[in-house]
A and B are shown apart, each in its own frame.
Chain A
Amino acid sequence: MKGEASALKAYGLHVAVIGLLFALSFVLPPYHHGLVARIMVLATFAMGYNLLFGYVGLLSLGHAMFFAAGLYGAGLSVYHLGWSVPLAFAGGIGCGAVLALVIGLLALRTSGVAFMIVTMMFAQVFYLTILYFARWTGGDQGLVVPQGSRVMYLGGASFDLTNPAVRYRVALALFAIVLAVVLVLVRSGFGRVLVAIRENEERTKMLGFDTFANKLAAVIVSGTICAAAGAAYALLFGYVGSSFASVQYSILPLLWVLLGGAATALGPLVGTLAMYYVTDIASSYTSAWLLIVGVMLIVGVLFFPKGVLGTIRQRWLRWLP
């Protein structure tokens, strides 16, 4: 069947991408090795964002709070409570999931632009709260997660997360797991309901689906994925700071997703990679790198209005998930 063939192609492509990222870890020069590790973590953040924005069509301007919930949840439990790495990682994810539940219950009473503004304001409240409790959070300066506590003991083995090779593989594992989860989710019945909600919420409701419950589930999964990325960021890179909770970090995943292609599985990775490398290369040639990034965004959107992968899917590869 045609559907099965395209599913096979799709899964094959994603396995190939993971394999390529793994192979890259052996050949990349050290700086790019480190940069790609960071990009994979942030692309995971973008995938979490994409689940809500791309598939359900809910534009949030507050996802920095979920990333930051994971970041602080993990970072502060290591810093103040001396938790082990796996426990702190789970703690960070838990913080994000609970926060997503609460925010979802409140914010989903709204839709469209009101949803956008409400999420932005809740994120602002979260950001200011971090500043307000500066004695524990380090406020705007942030805190360094001590190097010695960033070692993970699993079974009998120990993994030093400050070691670049270990860090790269942990980041890749996180990215691969979340990619698989997202792929399975969007191809499941749940995923189809989400897309149906995006296309026509009223009709979906009439068909007997509880759209609120489905949207709430989507917010929780999305927030949890973003928190996982945040928790990984704190443990892998050793710094928590309020700038990761600022509105800038709510806009960035939106930008990465739109650039790479909303509602495409690999769009977040493509968008994050593109933004990072354009910034990195442009800033080594001119101090006016913001100008280059700005022009690139505009030129990009003029020729790829649906993002890179979105446009490719529309024009050439219909089977792209």
Chain B
Amino acid sequence: MTDSKGYFDLSKNRLSRRTALKGLAAGASLAAAPGFVRYAQAQSSAPIKIGFQSHRTGIGAAYGRWYEKTTAAAVKAINAAGGINGRPVEVVIEDDGTDPGRGAEVVAKFANQHKTDIVFGTLFSHVVIGSAPAAGENKIPYFVVSEGHHVASTKLNRYVFQPGITDVKSQIQAMAPWIASNAGKKVCQIFPDFAFGYDHRDYLPPALKAQGGEVIAQIAIPPTESSFTKYLPQIPAETEVIYHVMVGPAVLTFVKELGEFYGSNRPQLFGFIDSLEAVDINSPGLEFLDGSHFWEGSPRYAQADDSEAQKAYRAAVGIDDNGAAVGDPKDVSTAAHMFGCWETLYVVKKAMEDAGYKGPEDRAKLVEATEALTEFAEGPEHPQGKKIFNGKIHQCFGIQNISKVEGGKLKVVHKTSIEDGLYEPEGDYTTQAL
């Protein structure tokens, strides 16, 4: 990649100075329209700078690439429609190496060197938590797309937000009713023995119990493991549903070994697609998943009842009906999560417009404007669906999809309601000083 100074330069979604200028021109012509006068007059034409903390290297690299593509597409769309407050949006990328220490340095670099208006886009939880203190100390709003429960736990600080993707605690809770009434009541959980797995370990049993189901065994597998067969005998014989949330490069092995272990005579399988993001569902060894079910944030495969907004979003990001890059069917996207980048940027746009945001001196106003948001309607800006936002815990809540593997595709069979995933807030960021 000939990536000079960290600006976007991706072959398909090219966002260079030139397109930024085009966006500016579009913004100028829109500004001539009556409704936009109020914005255009007050603003300088200097771009709004968004610092994108990206996992380009390290264990998160497969996600980072698609997060970048989605972000580029959203920025292109926003600029084509006149930018934010009449100003074009410019993205500056820094690689955090998927490392919390480097993550904190990158946030400081955005705040003090690139002087970006916000920091955005982090996925891996440990990087979010490691970077959060730096965001708080530099008083720079930090919009993450991580799905971790860390933001909503109110253990971070007032500058950290997650308005584009539902947190994992809510996702798990929303799955329980469907599992108990459709897959089975006796559930065995298999999860990685680190924080991502612990959310599932801690939140599923009570949610399932409330639905009349029961977790009968929990098998935690160390993150360094590359083979899983030796853990499979711990699955109780009376298990009706295996609930699996393995992540990382070894997941294909996991499924394959499950197949070798059980053959055709297996319990129901329910998993989080996190395991298979960026992995072709038709890879050798995954035949075993046929007929099993997955959580998906946003469906990977195009569905028959897709909204116009969903279709437009997919076209803008450049994924085909199978969720792979247009022109390269082997390049499978991280569709279930990356929509969060798109939606988060539109939340940032809305909040900046509400706050009358002019520059870094208005960051505190931006925080308050974001906290004042309550609801995002389904549409081009929120193609995954409607969401409600809790400004006290800086977290949004949306619908979730449950999809069945059928004929080498994922077909959505159930959509949860937002209410399925709501829980009591654990704290309140708005009481903290800005």
| A–B proximity contact (CB within 8 A) | yes
Chain A residues with a Cβ under 8 A of chain B = 29-35, 38, 128, 131, 134, 138-145, 147, 162, 164, 237-239, 241, 243-244, 280, 283-290
- Asked if A289 meets B129 with Cβ closer than 8 Å, knowing A31-B113, A284-B5, the reply is no
Stretch among B79-87, B99-107, B179-187, B347-355 lining the A interface: B99-107
Give how many B residues have a beta carbon under 8 Å from the other chain's beta carbons.
39
- Asked if A241 meets B108 with Cβ closer than 8 Å, knowing A284-B94, A286-B3, the reply is no
Q: List 14 A-B contacts (CB under 8 A).
A: A30-B111, A30-B113, A35-B105, A134-B194, A134-B198, A139-B198, A141-B126, A144-B155, A145-B133, A147-B136, A147-B137, A237-B134, A287-B95, A289-B57
Q: Collect the chain B residues with CB atoms within 8 Å of residue A244's CB.
A: 101
B32 on interface, CB distance cutoff 8 Å: no
CB within 8 A of B137: which of A32, A35, A162, A283?
A: A162
Residue of B nearest to A79 (CB): B155
CB within 8 A of B112: which of A31, A284, A287, A290?
A: A31
Q: How far is the CA of A244 from the CA of B56 in the complex (A)?
A: 20
CB within 8 A of A239: which of B57, B100, B109, B111?
A: B100
Asked if B195 and A138 sit within 8 Å, CB to CB, the answer is: yes
Q: How far is the CA of A238 from the CA of B130 in the complex (A)?
A: 8
Interface of B is mostly: helix
Q: Collect the chain A residues with CB atoms within 8 Å of residue B94's CB.
A: 283-284
Closest chain-B Cβ to A210's Cβ sits at a distance in Å of: 39
Interface of A is mostly: helix
B157 on interface, CB distance cutoff 8 Å: yes
Asked if B99 and A239 sit within 8 Å, CB to CB, the answer is: no
Q: How far is the CA of A280 from the CA of B148 in the complex (A)?
A: 28
Chain B residues with a Cβ under 8 A of chain A = 1, 3-6, 56-57, 94-95, 99-101, 104-105, 108-109, 111-113, 125-126, 129-130, 132-134, 136-137, 148, 150, 155-157, 193-195, 198, 222-223
Q: Collect the chain B residues with CB atoms within 8 Å of residue A284's CB.
A: 5-6, 94
- Asked if A140 meets B195 with Cβ closer than 8 Å, knowing A145-B133, A287-B1, A287-B57, the reply is yes
Closest chain-B Cβ to A278's Cβ sits at a distance in Å of: 14
Q: Collect the chain B residues with CB atoms within 8 Å of residue A237's CB.
A: 104, 133-134
Closest chain-A Cβ to B161's Cβ sits at a distance in Å of: 15
Asked if A140 and B95 sit within 8 Å, CB to CB, the answer is: no
- Asked if A143 meets B129 with Cβ closer than 8 Å, knowing A239-B100, A244-B101, A285-B4, the reply is yes
- Asked if A239 meets B129 with Cβ closer than 8 Å, knowing A35-B105, A284-B94, the reply is yes
